[in-house]
Amino acid sequence: MNSQRPGAIWIGSERKYSHEIGVVWIGNACAWNPAALRSAYELVIKSWSDAGLAPHRLAASAPGVGRKYGAFDRKRRFVERADFNKVGTIEMVRIQPGCTSEMSDWEMEATLSQKLGMFSAGCVLSLVGDAASFIEQNALNLFELSGCRYGWMFRQRLRFSPGAYAFGLTVHVDDDPRHDDHRKNIQSWHPSIERLGPTVDAGILRDVFAENYLAWPHLEASLGNTATTLKQWIEADRASRGTLEPYTDILTKWTPPVEKIPQIREELYRAGRVFYWQFFRPPGANRLPGPFFRPDLSAPWEAPDPIPEIYRADYWKDKDPGLTY
């Protein structure tokens, strides 16, 4: 992979915990306000400290704070004196001794972004043990505080940098097994793009994850040219498609059977419910619309054959369906 491609970053290959798996909750299309952002910031610090795992490093985009990571105790003084109307993003990590990369060697992380309308909260289960329950509770609180309209939980090896995935970035890694189409999908769904809000409002899923947090645009979206909604489709076969349960005032939690995710992904992609980068970027130098171009994501749509390889269930047969790549 070319590390100079837009949306791609280089983080090196010598990372201490690259084989470990990070578990991360993501919220998109959030309705942050300054008071909620401050409450979320204070809540994360308290919950981590209550678990005996206080943050080590902090970065924030705010006047007088500085965007680069610095020692937590030093930087927090500046953040807490700041006008939260002017705080764009706050990032906190706890990293293992001997590690230097906040992006790829964290054991706990949290990002709260008023500017991007998103949050992430994650940990590495093998490194934090029972403290993982605090991160999960953080996620529930952040979904509520942020007014999030779409979210998910995913598991990813640290070699791919779960934090980068949350921001719509891919990383250069040795022996990268990911399909180029898949990388472009990652790069084309990021919280800074203007079209993300309309994409969420059209009921388009970023992917099918182990846990999905859906508001009414997703649940009431029709599959293909049918009148069947996603909610009806799931409830018609809970054994194969999973369960729905209330989560917040806005969100419903959808938990599909992990082993069925490849089949669910293919079926929902064919029905126009799963995101594909070519919905936005018709291929070809002449920019003529390609077969997957969707000028109106709210309009009924069914994928033409042949579908892209990354959406075929058999493409994932040798991969762990519980992991995001």
Query: What are the pLDDT digits (tens) for 221-278?
Result: 999 999 999 999 999 999 999 999 999 999 999 999 999 999 999 999 999 999 999 9
Query: For residue 52, what are the CA distances in angstroms to 47, 128, 215, 245, 263?
Result: 9, 10, 34, 32, 41
Best-predicted range by mean pLDDT (181-190, 192-201, 202-211)? 202-211
Tell me the sheet residues that pair with 120: 26, 111
pLDDT at position 285 over 70? no
- Packed helices 34-50 and 132-146: angle between N→C axes, nearest 10 degrees: 170
144, 202: one domain:
no
Query: Band of the pLDDT at 13, cuts 50, 70, 90?
Result: low
199, 72: one domain:
no
Query: Band of the pLDDT at 3, cuts 50, 70, 90?
Result: very low
Tell me the sheet residues that pair with 170: 8
**Pair 3, 10: CB distance under 8 Å:** yes
pLDDT at position 100 over 90? no
Q: Has residue 225 been placed in a domain?
A: yes
According to the model, what pLDDT value does residue 197 have?
Answer: 93
304, 205: one domain:
yes
d(CA 174, CA 158): 13
According to the model, what pLDDT value does residue 143 have?
Answer: 97
Kindly report which listed range (18-32, 61-75, 213-227, 255-269) carries the lowest average pLDDT score.
61-75
Query: Band of the pLDDT at 4, cuts 50, 70, 90?
Result: very low
Q: Tell me which residue has tokens 């936005």.
A: 280
What is the distance of C-alpha 186 from the center of its chain? 10
d(CA 130, CA 136): 11
According to the model, what pLDDT value does residue 12 have?
Answer: 54
249, 164: one domain:
no
According to the model, what pLDDT value does residue 17 have?
Answer: 77
Radius of gyration of the chain (CA): 19
88, 113: one domain:
yes
Full domain range(s) for residue 80: 19-172
Q: Has residue 7 been placed in a domain?
A: no
**One-letter amino acid identity for 113?**
S
**For the chain, what is the domain count?**
2
Residue after which a domain boundary falls, among 172, 207, 229: 172
151, 241: one domain:
no
128, 262: one domain:
no
d(CA 271, CA 119): 29
Hey, how many other C-beta atoms are within 10 angstroms of the C-beta on 189? 21
165, 205: one domain:
no
The DSSP output letter for 278 is G
**One-letter amino acid identity for 242?**
G
Q: Has residue 325 been placed in a domain?
A: no
Q: Has residue 52 been placed in a domain?
A: yes
Note the pLDDT tens digit of each residue in 296-315.
999 999 999 999 999 999 99
d(CA 149, CA 199): 11
270, 199: one domain:
yes
Query: Band of the pLDDT at 10, cuts 50, 70, 90?
Result: low
Q: Has residue 180 been placed in a domain?
A: no
Q: Has residue 177 been placed in a domain?
A: no
d(CA 183, CA 238): 31
Burial of 309 (0-12, 13-18, 19+ CB in 10 A): exposed
pLDDT at position 290 over 90? no
164, 196: one domain:
no
The DSSP output letter for 221 is P
pLDDT at position 62 over 80? yes
Higher pLDDT, 6 or 76: 76
221, 305: one domain:
yes
Query: Band of the pLDDT at 281, cuts 50, 70, 90?
Result: confident
Q: Has residue 168 been placed in a domain?
A: yes
Residue after which a domain boundary falls, among 172, 196, 218: 172
d(CA 104, CA 94): 11
According to the model, what pLDDT value does residue 181 have?
Answer: 94
Q: Has residue 129 been placed in a domain?
A: yes
**Mean pLDDT throughout 123-134?**
91
206, 103: one domain:
no
Note the pLDDT tens digit of each residue in 103-117.
878 999 999 999 999
Strand 8-10, strand 170-172: pairing: parallel
Average pLDDT along the chain: 91
